[in-house]
Amino acid sequence: MPEQRTTAPSVAAPAGPPILLVEDDRGQSLLVERVFRKAGVANPVRVFHEGNGALAYLGGQESYADRTHFPLPVLILLDLHVPGRSGLELLTWLRQQPNLDRIPVVMLSGSSESEDIDRAFELGANSYLVKPVAFDALLDTVTGLGLPWMILGGDGKGRDG
């Protein structure tokens, strides 16, 4: 099975469905997880460092067939350039799946090229962030997607202090 990691929620509230992070840079994935913890996001973060494992998870293939243990994510953070299936290939596939096409997808990329950004939006990305991603930019993007406030822990504000 491809390497993947799940970060347990840092609050006592019910965790809810996972956030799926597909990011090959381990430092960047740790940063994103830290942002969510600091923001009080209660959902577990399920991390894949390559696209094929994420595809297997989303498609309920192989060991991910049991949706009780491997529920569909409430949000997908997708790096543009990952080994295996690229972020754009995953996004294209996602938007063709009737049971997955409404899951919000935030593209993460080191590229600020307008062609990459335009292509991501043409394929159905909900947002596009250029790495390195700042704490406030990521949090504002996730908040702006209009996801149910239940994914936030604590007081529901999503920010410390």
Looking at residue 159, its pLDDT comes to: 39
Looking at residue 146, its pLDDT comes to: 65
Residue type, 84: G
Average pLDDT of the chain, as a whole number:
82
Q: What is the CATH number of the domain that holds 20?
A: 3.40.50.2300
Of 158, 111, 157, nearest to 135 by C-alpha is 158
Torsion of Cα atoms, 31 then 34 then 35 then 40, to 10°? 170
Is 108 within the bounds of a domain?
yes
**Of 144 and 129, which is predicted with more confidence?**
129
Domain limits for position 35? 4-145
Looking at residue 34, its pLDDT comes to: 85
Is 69 within the bounds of a domain?
yes
Query: Is residue 103 scored above 80 in pLDDT?
Result: yes
Is 141 within the bounds of a domain?
yes
Question: Are the C-beta atoms of residues 42 and 151 closer than 8 Å to each other?
Answer: yes
Looking at residue 132, its pLDDT comes to: 74
Into how many domains does the chain fold?
1
Is 158 within the bounds of a domain?
no
